[in-house]
């Protein structure tokens, strides 16, 4: 029977997905804000807010994807154990889920003025 390999790093393969999910949620909200600033003058000229709505929907989808990735990793690793690496991974997964859901709420909140106001307001 082969001897198990010792891990030389604390950064396991599923941690790459968690770091991606952890940053994708907040970055989607920030990129939605930046994209809205760039698209607002064009939206005003065209008199249509379709580009702003599509942008918000795309970044909401990215934020939801981040929550889904973190949720899948959390379910894959199971309940936290006494292993510090396992507890850290579970904590990071929960944090990524909370950040992604919070970012989705921020994106929806940024979309409300696009629904209420006119293009050039």
Average pLDDT in the 109-120 region? 86
Tell me what the pLDDT averaged over the chain comes to.
85
Instruction: Please write the tens of the pLDDT for every residue from 37-63.
Output: 999 889 888 888 899 999 999 999 999
89: enclosing H helix or E strand: helix 84-116
Least confident of 3-12, 26-35, 37-46: 3-12
Q: Is the pTM of this model over 0.95?
A: no
Q: Which residues contact 103 (CB under 8 A, 6 or more apart)?
A: 25, 26, 28, 29, 63, 66
């Amino acid at each position: 029977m082969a001897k198990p390999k010792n891990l030389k790093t604390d950064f396991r393969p599923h941690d790459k997905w968690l770091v991606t999910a952890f940053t994708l949620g907040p970055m989607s909200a920030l990129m939605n804000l930046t994209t809205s600033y760039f698209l607002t003058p064009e939206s005003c000229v065209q008199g249509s807010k379709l580009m702003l709505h599509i942008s918000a929907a795309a970044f909401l989808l990215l934020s939801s994807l981040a929550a889904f990735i973190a949720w899948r990793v959390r379910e894959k690793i199971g309940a936290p154990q006494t292993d510090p690496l396992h507890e850290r991974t579970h904590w990071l997964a929960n944090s990524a889920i909370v950040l992604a859901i919070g970012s989705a709420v921020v994106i929806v909140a940024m979309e409300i003025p696009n629904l209420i106001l006119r293009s050039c307001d």
